[in-house]
């Protein structure tokens, strides 16, 4: 992703070299994304049909969270927004007023994405009405996506060098990295180095010694088992995230298989038990041996240091509960483009880069903590610890504000909009005690009519949609 985007943006006079090692390989997991990936794909002129075909992709409209608030309960965090903002205040305030007046639809009944997910539908919608927009992301095989982008990058002029980096050389005065020494003696020189070495952080952490900020006191998961299994007959247009006694499980539908995994904390369950939990709940035949992955949740404190910028897992790790890591690659590169050095590295740009990426990581961290903390589950030591932990102050304030008034707040770098916070807070059981006075501006009769109208408008496009599988077959020309 980094190489192709740099190549598309920078003039041909800037030499871009991608070094990677087949001996090490890639982490090979990561299948669910969020909608901004469409902007990335469009920018690099990726043909959607070819992309869907080559990466066995499916459409993602939401994540369905099961057993998170309590066992047996489920809700969706969709890529849409419930209702419409009428007048001064957000739709949640109108919905809350409706509840007081005895209107029965849930907030999700006003969300086109939810309606499409429940019916397994997707497709193009011919309408100019903004309430009819069906924004989407993808599930895909990220290894195939990487190979696809690598081919594109090479065709566009990126030089790819296969080889294990054995030595990293630094300038003795500045500490800047000057060249990489590869196995077999080859040397790659450079002015600017993007560290995409994954959890190793070979340049940023191992060479430059930038610290890692540990967030395991809030997000104790440090392990995952991943296993592919046969695909389901009907492909769901959403990811499933199913909470268990000590962690959670993902189920991601691709066109040729399902991706499954269990994310857990080794402090609460040992690896063998976690594996048997995962295998016992697989509902289709496994297609390969399960693979264990270990990680440490947290952030590389300075994601840009000297002449190295960490992109991808070298910049930090957040568990895949909200499918944010691939997006963080994209936003890291976009941020780098905005602040790209002209003739030399400007320290103020480095500081701003680091401040923005800190805020972005922290808002995602808080959003993920919200799922664990705002729960009624107390059926295990794990959930009791999650419920009672002290969460970061900003998250405490957001939860308290929503509970008291129904209001939501976003930081500038927060990738999740109001609707995301509203659906997850309500889904996790935070019920506002009040709503904004501006929602009372209409008479009861007029208000009820307006709410019925919104419900109707949100349902209108459903007739234009087709089954998700029919869409995929059509899109890839099968
Ligand atoms: C369990 C799990 C589930 C995930 N699920 C999702 C998800 O659903 N959605 C999502 O957005 N993200 C997800 N992620 C994150 C996602 O997998 C990563 O963000 C993504 O794969 C990018 O990884 P990367 O390129 O940073 O690292 P890697 O894939 O590890 O790539 C590192 C690269 O560096 C090279 N390298 C390393 N050391 C050397 C060396 N010494 N010499 C030469 N080359 C070297 C390797 O060869 C490789 O090419 C998940 C992660 C985990 C652990």
* Residue owning the nearest CA to atom 16 of ligand 1: 30
Residue 294: strand, helix, or coil: strand
Question: In 339-392, which residue ranges form alpha helices assigned H by DSSP?
Answer: 347-373, 381-388
Low-confidence ranges of the chain (pLDDT < 70): 478
Is residue 202 within 6 Å of ligand 1 at its C-beta? yes
Are residues 265 and 246 in contact, defined by beta-carbon separation less than 8 angstroms? yes
Q: What is the chain's percent helix, strand, coil content, to nearest 5?
A: 40, 20, 40
pTM above 0.95, yes or no: yes
What is the distance in A from the centroid of ligand 1 to the CA of 312? 7
* pLDDT value at residue 410: 86
In this structure, what token pair is assigned to residue 85?
């903002």
Is residue 24 within 6 Å of ligand 1 at its C-beta? yes
What is the distance in A from the centroid of ligand 1 to the CA of 57? 19
Is residue 27 within 6 Å of ligand 1 at its C-beta? yes
Residue 122 CB contacts under 8 Å (≥ 6 apart), including other chains? 59, 61, 116, 134, 136, 237, 465, 466, 467, 468, 471
β-bridge partners, 74: 66
Buried b (16+ CB within 10 A) or exposed e, 74-100: ebbbbbbbbbbebeebbbbbbbbbbbe
Is residue 259 within 6 Å of ligand 1 at its C-beta? no
Closest ligand 1 atom to 324 CA: 11
* pLDDT value at residue 28: 87
CA-CA distance, 371 to 366, in Å (whole number)?
Answer: 9
* pLDDT value at residue 212: 97
The preferred substitution site among 317, 325, 368 for testing ligand 1, maximizing ligand atoms within 8 Å of CB, is 325
Among residues 60, 306, 398, 458, which one is catalytic? 60
Q: What is the DSSP string of 93-156?
A: HHHHHHHHTT----GGGG-HHHHHHHHTEE-------GGG----EEE--HHHHHHHHHHHHHHT
Is residue 203 within 6 Å of ligand 1 at its C-beta? no
* pLDDT value at residue 40: 97
* pLDDT value at residue 478: 62
Q: How many CB atoms lie within 10 A of CB 7?
A: 20
What is the distance in A from the centroid of ligand 1 to the CA of 471? 30
Full strand arrangement of the beta sheet holding 177-182: 165-170, 177-182, 187-189
* Residue owning the nearest CA to atom 27 of ligand 1: 198
Distance from chain centroid for Cα 345: 30
Closest ligand 1 atom to 31 CA: 8
In this structure, what token pair is assigned to residue 199?
């959890």
Residue 385 DSSP code: H
Region of 135 on the Ramachandran plot (φ > 0 left; ψ -120 to 50 alpha; else beta): beta
Is residue 200 within 6 Å of ligand 1 at its C-beta? yes
Is residue 239 within 6 Å of ligand 1 at its C-beta? no
Is residue 197 within 6 Å of ligand 1 at its C-beta? yes
Closest ligand 1 atom to 164 CA: 42
What is the distance in A from the centroid of ligand 1 to the CA of 22? 13
Distance from chain centroid for Cα 216: 19
Q: Is 60 a catalytic residue?
A: yes
The preferred substitution site among 313, 330, 331 for testing ligand 1, maximizing ligand atoms within 8 Å of CB, is 313
Closest ligand 1 atom to 25 CA: 47
CA-CA distance, 311 to 6, in Å (whole number)?
Answer: 13
CA distances from residue 465 to 121, 404, 471 in whole angstroms, order as listed: 6, 39, 9
Is residue 258 within 6 Å of ligand 1 at its C-beta? no
What is the distance in A from the centroid of ligand 1 to the CA of 273? 26
* pLDDT value at residue 289: 97
Buried b (16+ CB within 10 A) or exposed e, 431-470: ebeebbeebeebeeeebbebbeebeebbeebeeebebbbe
């Amino acid at each position: 992703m980094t190489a192709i985007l740099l190549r598309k943006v920078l003039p041909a006079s800037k030499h871009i070299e991608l070094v990677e090692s087949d001996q090490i390989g890639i982490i090979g997991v990561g299948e669910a994304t969020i909608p901004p990936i469409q902007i990335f794909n469009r920018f690099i002129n990726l043909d959607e049909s070819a992309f869907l075909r080559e990466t066995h992709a499916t459409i993602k409209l939401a994540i369905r969270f099961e057993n998170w608030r309590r066992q047996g309960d489920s809700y969706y965090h969709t890529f849409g927004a419930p209702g419409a903002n009428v007048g001064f205040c957000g739709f949640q305030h109108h919905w809350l007023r409706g509840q007081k007046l005895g209107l029965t639809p849930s907030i999700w009944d006003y969300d086109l994405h939810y309606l499409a997910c429940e019916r397994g539908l997707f497709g193009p919608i011919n309408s100019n009405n903004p309430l009819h927009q069906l924004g989407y992301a993808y599930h895909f095989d990220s290894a195939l996506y990487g190979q696809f982008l690598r081919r594109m990058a090479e065709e566009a002029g990126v030089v790819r060098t296969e080889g294990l980096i054995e030595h990293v050389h630094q300038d003795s005065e500045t500490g800047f990295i000057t060249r990489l020494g590869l196995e077999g003696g080859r040397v790659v020189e450079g002015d600017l180095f993007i560290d995409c070495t994954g959890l190793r952080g070979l340049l940023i952490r191992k060479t430059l010694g930038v610290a890692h900020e540990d967030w395991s006191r809030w997000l104790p998961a440090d392990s995952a088992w991943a296993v592919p299994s046969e695909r389901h007959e009907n492909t769901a247009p959403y990811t499933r995230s199913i909470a268990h006694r000590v962690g959670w499980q993902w189920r991601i539908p691709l066109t040729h298989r399902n991706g499954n995994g269990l994310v857990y904390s080794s402090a609460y369950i040992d690896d063998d038990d976690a594996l048997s939990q995962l295998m016992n709940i697989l509902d289709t035949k496994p297609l390969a041996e399960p693979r264990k992955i270990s990680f440490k949740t947290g952030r590389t404190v300075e994601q840009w240091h000297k002449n190295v910028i960490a992109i991808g897992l070298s910049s930090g790790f957040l568990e895949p509960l909200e499918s944010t890591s691939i997006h963080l690659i994209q936003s890291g590169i976009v941020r780098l483009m905005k602040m790209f050095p002209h003739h030399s590295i400007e320290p103020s740009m480095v500081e701003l880069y680091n401040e923005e990426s800190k805020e972005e990581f922290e808002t995602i961290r808080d959003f993920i903590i919200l799922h664990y903390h705002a729960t009624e589950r107390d059926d295990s030591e794990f959930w009791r610890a999650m419920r009672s932990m002290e969460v970061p102050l900003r998250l405490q304030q957001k939860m308290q504000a929503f509970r008291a008034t129904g209001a939501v707040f976003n930081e500038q770098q927060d990738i999740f909009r109001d609707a995301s916070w509203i659906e997850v807070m309500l889904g996790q059981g935070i019920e506002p005690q009040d709503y904004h006075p501006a929602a009372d501006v209409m008479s009861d009769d007029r208000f009820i009519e307006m709410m019925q109208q919104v419900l109707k408008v949100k349902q209108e496009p459903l007739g234009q949609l087709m089954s998700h599988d029919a869409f995929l077959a059509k899109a890839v020309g099968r």
